[in-house]
Chain A
Amino acid sequence: MPWIPKTADMPLLEVNNLRTSFHTNDGEVYAVNDLSFSVEKGETLGVVGESGSGKSQLVLSIINLLASNGQLQGSIRFQGQELVGMKPKEINRIRGNRIGMIFQDPMTCLNGYLTVARQMTEVLMHHQGLDYASAKKCSIEMLDAVHIPDAKNRIDRYPHEFSGGMRQRVMIAMALLCQPDLLIADEPSTALDVTVQAQIIQLMNELQQEFGMSIIMITHDLGVIAGISDNVMVMYGGRICEQAPVFELFDNPRHPYTLGLLQSVPRLDTAGSAKLHSIPGNPPNLLRLPPGCAFVDRCQKGIPVCDQKQPRLREISPEHRVACHLEELP
């Protein structure tokens, strides 16, 4: 995995103090809390966290696809353009064109009432003004690129005539049609068989080399993260608890939550009888986040200050940021 150094010029995506909240009958739910990070050109950022950590809402926030009761605060700059508060017409010029998006469940995310050809060509016809024939030609080429056999004939089929892995390939091809600068993948392999998962991750690696886009990869699978990311961001309770280059994170995890996640991965090289580690407790309720560290109830290394004060995200070595009070101890 090539390590891409941060360049002096503007990052592709820059998120600052992003807050995403949902207005519900029970009160405000804070899914993303004061998040700041950036993605460089060609970089792959892995975002890990368990269900309810806010990772999916984070990416939906980026392309402004929140549910109607969702609210965005803060700043999201993509290629220098502010996306927060952008008019629907303008953001539609970026969605599907400069930012491609792949969703978790390929079985339900394609439109079952339209042929694959229709769903792919409409992207090119809308964003690039191609006519149907040339849009279809490009679409077939893209299906070839994601290794769908007999793409020329199968493009006229409906999604239900494809297997799960093939449908996810169609989704990927569709997201890449306009050769976006950023590809957002929300758990693209989670709903698939393990062998198919590996193929999809490998395919994404391959496509990134070919097209050179940046990727934000959301997953709860650390194996996937290790296989594809340059940088990793660990999310908990809607906040970043640790962010580091992938090797640094695996070699030198600092946050107790990251450590717990790494220990929870089943390994082949430990004694056969060893019990798999798990982090006790449940993720925090986003309706009532504690005043202190969100992880405090489940943390085995907690100190008194954890209950009272929220830990600050600090850079402990270049590119490695951690939000934990233990790091601030002398």
Chain B
Amino acid sequence: MLRYSFRRLLGAIPTLLILMTLAFFMMRMAPGGPFDTEKSLPPEIQANLDKKYHLDEPLIQQYGRYLLDVVRGDFGPSFQYKDYSVNELIATGFPVSLRLGLSAIAIALVVGVGLGTIAALRQNSSADYTVMTLAMTGISIPNFVLAPILILVFAVYLGWLPAGGWNDGAFKNTILPIIGLALPQIAYISRLMRGSMIEVLRSNPIRTARAKGLPERVVILRHALKPALLPVVSFLGPATAAVITGSVVIEQIFGIPGLGRYFVQGALNRDYTLVMGVVVFYGILIILFNFIVDLVYAMLDPKVRYS
């Protein structure tokens, strides 16, 4: 098990290297640079800046320098947020996004699995159609529509919750963003869960369990839940990585100082190091969560064992 984990993490290094290389050169290929403004800078200042950030070196040398920095765990200084390093920006933004993201995923998992199971058990009933219609709606409404509606209803009309702001992470301020993040995930998970549960309920082991005279509750919870959860677990890996790194739209609308906004701002500002930093960070999280998915698979399914 330990050896398997070690091998898997070692195997992630080439993936990260390819990711970094692609991101590095694509970013540099994009027209414009981090210090371009409406009025062009005097050439001396431009040269000084280029020298300070090593932009005057040949590209391949910059690439080598960047790789060495990353190996040391240093994503470099931000080009746009002066006086901040990319490490610092991630360190302040990520905990915020992580807290919102994890809460949203946890809620989505419980509610989605519950709703999907209910829909599967009452297949083609009105409860099933209700859940599936809601799920379809949840998937098709984009979050830049959903979030303002939430604000309008719960903050403006009802006045129960603040319309935005972080307020040092007060619980009240996190509720609406978490709901905004969780609803689309609930929709996906409940649809996945319904499909796999229906399939499992028709399978031979379930017929055997019923033939043993076990009550329906035991048949569902003990015999059907584990196999039915597998597709949801696969979905959760990348979904968790995506949600905990923050949603640009949700963080923008609710005014939350998370990681999400750096993705867009970094790219628009040609903030090379910041973009590279969040891309590599996101890549590491994706790899990490896919690895966790595999471990959970092994826990759920005894046929999958790693040696």
Contacts and interface: CB of A to CB of B under 8 A. Distances in A.
Interface stretch (A32-40, A100-108, A244-252): A100-108
A101 B211 CA distance: 6
Contacts of B212: 95-96, 122-123, 126, 174
B211 A110 contact: no
Nearest to B202: A67
Given A112-B205, A113-B226, A92 B303 contact: no
A250 B208 CA distance: 34
Contacts of A93: 213
B227 to A, nearest CB: 6
B99 interface: no
A160 interface: yes
Given A96-B214, A114-B223, A109 B303 contact: no
Contacts of A160: 302-303
A158 B301 CA distance: 10
B290 to A, nearest CB: 22
Given A97-B213, A158-B302, A109 B218 contact: no
A126 B218 contact: yes
A111 interface: yes
Contacts of A174: 212
A299 interface: no
Contacts of A158: 302-303
B211 A95 contact: yes
Contact of B222 (A94, A101, A109, A114): A114
Interface residues of B, number: 24
Interface string B213-236: 111101000110011000000000
Contacts of A112: 205, 227, 301-303
Nearest to A60: B207
B214 A92 contact: yes
Nearest to B302: A158
Pick the most buried of A92, A108, A113, A123: most chain B CB atoms within 10 A of its CB. A113
Nearest to B300: A113
B209 interface: yes
B303 A108 contact: no
Contacts of B300: 113
A88 interface: yes
Nearest to B215: A92
Nearest to B205: A111
B204 interface: yes
B210 A111 contact: no
Pick the most buried of A111, A112, A174: most chain B CB atoms within 10 A of its CB. A111
B208 A126 contact: no
Contacts of A122: 212, 214, 218, 222
A71 B116 CA distance: 27
A48 interface: no
B209 A111 contact: yes
B197 to A, nearest CB: 14
Interface string A108-134: 111111110010001100110000000
Nearest to A108: B204
Contacts of A15: none
A241 interface: no
B302 A96 contact: no
B121 to A, nearest CB: 11
Given A114-B222, A114-B223, A126-B218, A103 B213 contact: no
B288 to A, nearest CB: 26
A182 interface: no
B213 A95 contact: yes
Nearest to A97: B213
Nearest to B230: A113
A305 interface: no
A4 interface: no
Contacts of B211: 63, 65, 95-96, 101, 103
Contacts of A96: 211-214
Nearest to B223: A111
A108 B205 contact: yes
Contact of B208 (A92, A94, A110): A110
A116 to B, nearest CB: 11
A191 B222 CA distance: 27
A254 B123 CA distance: 47
A126 B213 CA distance: 8
Contacts of B226: 113
Pick the most buried of B209, B211, B300, B302: most chain A CB atoms within 10 A of its CB. B211
B301 A103 contact: no
Contacts of A68: 123
Nearest to A126: B214
Given A114-B223, A122-B218, A158-B303, A109 B213 contact: no
Contacts of B204: 103, 105, 108-109
Nearest to A123: B212
A326 B67 CA distance: 91
Interface in B49-77: none
A91 to B, nearest CB: 8
A-B interface, 9 closest residue pairs, ranked by CB to CB distance from nearest: A95-B213, A96-B213, A96-B212, A111-B205, A101-B211, A92-B213, A158-B302, A108-B204, A113-B226
10 contacts: A67-B202, A91-B213, A92-B213, A103-B204, A105-B204, A109-B207, A113-B300, A114-B223, A123-B213, A171-B208
